[in-house]
């Protein structure tokens, strides 16, 4: 079986700048001053989201030093960018947040001549609604959001989002600390689109979420701390992302994952370059390196998220068998790379109108997380 990923990115020897300060997530950066190097690239992505040996390899091949930072969520990343004080070149938001950054003129158009590996990306993951003309993005990973539960602690087979709101599981449920995903679960359970702009529907979903919180259903609202809690059997039910579930499974074989019967979100995260980037060509060199088949194979093997690189996704079962001397379990592969019959009942997030985003913010503040 694959080695488990550490809960925090291990220390990587990075000689890049320390310019990406003020991050809410973990970080890896050098002790050198921001003025020490010109040949750098500042990257902000998510925790648990890269085989960090790729960073070392990129540095060795190109001489470009990488300063790698992490953010907790799309909303946290957006807040950092709007507040300023960070110096990211490459960011890796999810689809709906990319659409928002494009709308607000925060992304630079890419020079795809510098990114020949873009040709390896499956057309299924290009020209999507968040970047229809494919001017700004190169897909990084894709996957689904679902429910993770501990079969040693829960007798029921979980199939519905109702488990995230059921008082019988009080104190044993972890709700995601992300307004879009948390309300998505409630909207799906109620039979509404995850992209609804109907205020009554959104308020009904919020009432469900707030009611569960008031009844003590939620042990806590979590992001990366979910690993310790679910792997250690400190909570029985949570909602999170398929790739992270597969990482947890390596450390606790009692865990199961389901995309609920009512549907869910399937997402694409993509690499983008900010308009404020000071190292745009270096950023495009990094994106091209990460988009290669070899990088995608190694990333899949490390983070368990599905690759948009069609060669890598097709080759991964053989890669796994060669690497570990055993066949990749088909169920595991289908959780990582959800088959069409699962995706058919899921929706991709779209960027919501400003008045709906304001409503989300108002309700999330009211929830008091």
Tens of pLDDT, residues 176-206: 999 999 999 999 999 999 999 999 999 999 9
Mean pLDDT computed over 116-144:
96
Rounded Cα gap, residues 147 and 270, in angstroms: 24
Assess whether 357 and 235 both reside in one domain. Answer: yes
Assess whether 249 and 283 both reside in one domain. Answer: no
Q: Given this model, what pLDDT does residue 174 score?
A: 98
**Local confidence band at 65 (pLDDT 50, 70, 90 cut-offs):** very high
DSSP 3-14: PPPPSSPPP---
Q: Given this model, what pLDDT does residue 109 score?
A: 98
Rounded Cα gap, residues 88 and 74, in angstroms: 14
3, 4, 13, 61 from 57: Cα distances, Å: 20, 21, 11, 6
Assess whether 294 and 179 both reside in one domain. Answer: no
Rounded Cα gap, residues 35 and 179, in angstroms: 38
Mean pLDDT computed over 218-234:
96
Record the tokens describing residue 273, joined without a space: 């370059």
Residue that is written with structure tokens 């199939």 in the block: 159
Which strand (E) or helix (H) includes residue 273?
strand 264-273
Record the tokens describing residue 235, joined without a space: 């909570």
Residue 21 lies in a domain: no
Assess whether 156 and 228 both reside in one domain. Answer: yes
pLDDT tens digits, one per residue of 78-113:
999 999 889 999 999 999 999 999 999 999 999 999
Mean pLDDT computed over 228-232:
97
Residue that is written with structure tokens 């020209």 in the block: 127
Q: Which among 35, 70, 72 is positioned nearest to 55, based on CA atoms? A: 70
Assess whether 164 and 247 both reside in one domain. Answer: yes
Q: Given this model, what pLDDT does residue 48 score?
A: 79
The CATH code of the domain that includes 58 is 3.40.190.10
Q: Is 27's pLDDT higher than 80?
A: no
Rounded Cα gap, residues 309 and 78, in angstroms: 27
Q: Could you list the residue range(s) of the whole structural domain that residue 277 is in?
A: 27-142+267-337
């Amino acid at each position: 079986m694959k080695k488990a990923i550490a809960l925090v990115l291990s220390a990587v020897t990075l000689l890049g700048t320390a310019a990406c300060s003020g991050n809410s997530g973990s970080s890896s950066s050098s002790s050198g001053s921001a003025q020490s190097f010109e040949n750098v690239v500042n990257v902000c992505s998510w925790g648990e989201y890269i085989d960090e040996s790729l960073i070392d390899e990129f540095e060795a091949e190109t001489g470009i030093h990488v300063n790698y930072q992490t953010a907790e969520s799309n909303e946290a990343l957006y807040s950092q960018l709007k507040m300023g004080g960070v110096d990211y070149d490459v960011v890796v938001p999810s689809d709906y947040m990319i659409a928002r950054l494009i709308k607000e003129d925060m992304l630079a158009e890419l020079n795809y001549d510098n990114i020949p590996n873009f040709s390896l990306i499956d057309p299924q993951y290009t020209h999507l609604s968040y970047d229809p003309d494919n001017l700004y993005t190169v897909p990084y990973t894709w996957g689904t959001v679902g429910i993770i539960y501990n079969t040693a602690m829960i007798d029921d087979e979980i199939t519905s989002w109702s488990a995230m709101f059921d008082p019988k599981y009080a104190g044993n449920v972890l709700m995601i600390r992300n307004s879009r995903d948390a309300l998505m679960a409630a909207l799906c359970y109620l039979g509404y689109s995850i992209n609804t702009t109907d205020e009554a529907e959104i308020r009904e979903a919020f009432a469900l979420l707030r009611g569960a919180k008031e009844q003590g259903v939620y042990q806590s609202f979590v992001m990366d701390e979910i690993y310790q809690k679910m792997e250690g059997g400190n909570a029985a039910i949570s909602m999170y992302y398929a790739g992270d579930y597969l990482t947890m499974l390596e450390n606790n074989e009692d865990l199961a994952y389901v995309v609920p019967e009512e549907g869910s979100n399937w997402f694409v995260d993509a690499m983008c370059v900010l308009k404020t980037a000071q190292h745009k060509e270096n950023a495009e060199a990094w994106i091209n390196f990460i988009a290669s088949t070899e990088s995608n194979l190694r990333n899949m093997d490390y983070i368990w998220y599905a690759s948009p690189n069609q060669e890598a996704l097709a080759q991964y079962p053989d890669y796994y068998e060669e690497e570990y001397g055993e066949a990749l379990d088909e169920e595991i592969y289908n959780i990582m790379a959800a088959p069409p019959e699962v995706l058919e009942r899921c929706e991709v997030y779209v960027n919501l109108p400003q008045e709906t985003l304001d409503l989300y913010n108002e309700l999330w503040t009211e929830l008091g997380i």
